[in-house]
């Protein structure tokens, strides 16, 4: 909390009168030229009141100069956001200011998608960083769909990641100077992320040469929605009662519907579920390989304080093996078949520590389920079991 308060205080002070020579360094524009037009993830740490925006001198002039009318600069129309966590000079120096278009809403703690702007020059007023969509409301939880990685609150250089953004065209960039997930400008202009709530495009903005997608196209259903229909009455010969954590039932339905042939599933508590003679119990287990970190700690201890400091911030591999085990039984509890599938995830921690994992993310869950159901069919476990109903 103290770190966040200090960051907000520093950035709000920075939103103050300055000279025109500071345009290139304004937080209203990308810090690096190659970020022009890309989408980035950020977390809102504060919203500037109108009076502070108006009193911001050159920053206020820059906003007006890019074509944003004064009436669109009310309370909360400039969000102060961080792209790194948690503490240290990088969090402060890389933080950005983001224009929140009329009709859009951002609250402190929200994870947002930001279309990075275009720095001004003598012939071009530029374009400021702007809110595209809200990815996640109400702050960040370690096991939430959007979170800071590596999963170690003591680190000073963690980046934002949201589940499955790599499947939506996002790319991870890692260089000596910076690390981030971003969506390239061309991809970002063609289609927005399907899991985010799009922000409206201000009516006064000039039409873009490339379609943005978010202002005119309704966002598809979120993966967390109940868009997948329930199998209220699946054929008896292709259905089974599945025992699994309720939070994973939607993923099971999706994988079952996509299997060949499609598998009807029921869950405990659903109508007619108890009438099913055969059941499938599914269990996920995740094991983090920390062997290299254990060896590194010995070296860090020998190197003294500097070794521990460097080891605590240097990214390092934390391979994690996720296992899905399934057991098919009849109503009497007799085991009819059992096997497991695995997937190794290339997670990142530090040289000295790896974060805990309670269960795989949704993408890996679906991959493991799809592979498991394929094997279930290949090994003829389920058809033989159900045929005897």
Render each residue's pLDDT in the chain as its tens digit; 389 residues: 444 444 444 444 445 434 333 444 588 999 888 899 999 999 999 998 998 888 887 888 899 999 999 999 999 999 999 999 887 778 888 899 999 999 898 999 999 999 999 988 888 889 999 999 999 998 888 777 899 998 887 787 889 999 989 888 999 888 766 789 999 876 555 444 555 666 655 444 443 344 333 333 333 333 333 333 333 333 334 467 888 888 788 888 888 888 777 777 788 777 666 667 778 888 888 898 888 888 887 777 666 676 677 777 788 888 999 999 988 888 777 888 888 999 998 888 888 888 877 778 878 888 888 888 888 777 776 544 343 33
Domain chopping of the chain, boundaries: 2-198, 236-387
Residue 90's alpha-carbon distances to 169, 292, 333, in angstroms, are 26, 27, 57
- Please give the model's pTM, rounded to 2 decimal places: 0.50
pLDDT at site 352:
84
pLDDT at site 296:
82
Under DSSP, the state recorded for 31 is: S
Half-sphere exposure of 358 (CA within 13 A, CB side): 5
pLDDT at site 42:
96
pLDDT at site 189:
53
Q: Tokens 């060949």 correspond to what residue?
A: 260
Under DSSP, the state recorded for 54 is: H
| Cβ proximity of 346 and 367 under 8 Å | no
3-state secondary structure (DSSP) of residue 341: strand
pLDDT at site 240:
79
Alpha-carbon gap, residue 76 to 248, rounded angstroms: 37
pLDDT at site 230:
37
Alpha-carbon gap, residue 245 to 343, rounded angstroms: 20
pLDDT at site 170:
92
Helices of type H across the chain:
2-14, 50-54, 58-65, 88-93, 185-190, 249-258, 291-303, 305-313, 362-378, 381-387
Query: What sign results for the dihedral spanned by CA atoms 385, 386, 387, 389?
Result: positive
Residue 308's alpha-carbon distances to 136, 292, 347, 354, in angstroms, are 34, 15, 21, 15
State the DSSP H helix or E strand holding residue 193, giving kind and residue range, or none if neither.
none
CATH of domain 236-387: 3.30.160.150
Alpha-carbon gap, residue 338 to 361, rounded angstroms: 23
């Amino acid at each position: 909390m103290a770190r966040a308060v200090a960051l907000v205080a520093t950035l709000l002070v920075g939103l103050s009168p300055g000279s025109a020579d500071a345009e290139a360094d304004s937080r209203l524009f990308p810090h690096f030229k190659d970020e022009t037009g890309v989408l980035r993830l950020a977390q809102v740490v504060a919203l500037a009141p109108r009076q502070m925006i108006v009193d911001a001198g050159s920053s206020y002039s820059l906003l007006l100069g890019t074509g944003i009318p004064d009436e669109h600069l009310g309370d909360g129309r400039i969000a102060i956001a961080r792209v790194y966590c948690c503490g240290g000079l990088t969090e402060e120096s890389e933080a950005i200011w983001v224009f929140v278009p009329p009709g859009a809403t951002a609250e402190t703690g929200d994870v947002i998608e930001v279309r990075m702007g275009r720095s001004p020059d003598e012939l071009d007023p530029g374009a400021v960083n702007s809110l595209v969509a809200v990815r996640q409301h109400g702050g960040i939880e370690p096991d939430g769909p959007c979170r800071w990685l590596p999963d170690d609150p003591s680190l000073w250089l963690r980046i934002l990641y949201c589940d499955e953004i790599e499947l939506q065209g996002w790319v991870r960039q890692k260089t000596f100077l910076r690390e981030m997930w971003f969506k390239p400008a061309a991809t970002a202009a063609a289609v927005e992320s399907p899991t985010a709530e799009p922000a409206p495009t201000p009516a006064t903005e000039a039409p873009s040469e490339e379609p943005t997608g978010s202002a005119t196209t309704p966002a598809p259903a979120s993966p967390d929605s109940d868009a997948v229909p329930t199998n209220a009455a699946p054929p008896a010969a292709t259905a089974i009662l599945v025992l699994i954590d309720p939070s994973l039932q939607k993923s099971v339905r999706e994988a079952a519907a996509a299997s060949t042939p499609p598998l009807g599933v029921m869950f405990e508590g659903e109508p007619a579920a108890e009438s099913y003679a055969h059941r499938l119990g599914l269990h996920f287990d995740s094991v983090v390989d920390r062997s290299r970190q254990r060896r590194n700690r010995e070296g860090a201890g020998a190197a003294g304080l500097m070794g521990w400091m460097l080891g605590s911030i240097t990214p390092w591999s934390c391979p994690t093996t996720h296992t899905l085990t399934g057991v098919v039984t009849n109503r009497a509890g007799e085991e009819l078949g059992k096997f497991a599938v695995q997937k190794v995830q290339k997670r990142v921690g530090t040289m000295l520590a790896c974060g805990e994992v309670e269960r795989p993310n949704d993408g890996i869950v679906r991959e493991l389920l799809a592979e498991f159901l394929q094997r279930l069919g290949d090994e003829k476990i389920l058809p033989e079991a159900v045929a005897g109903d």
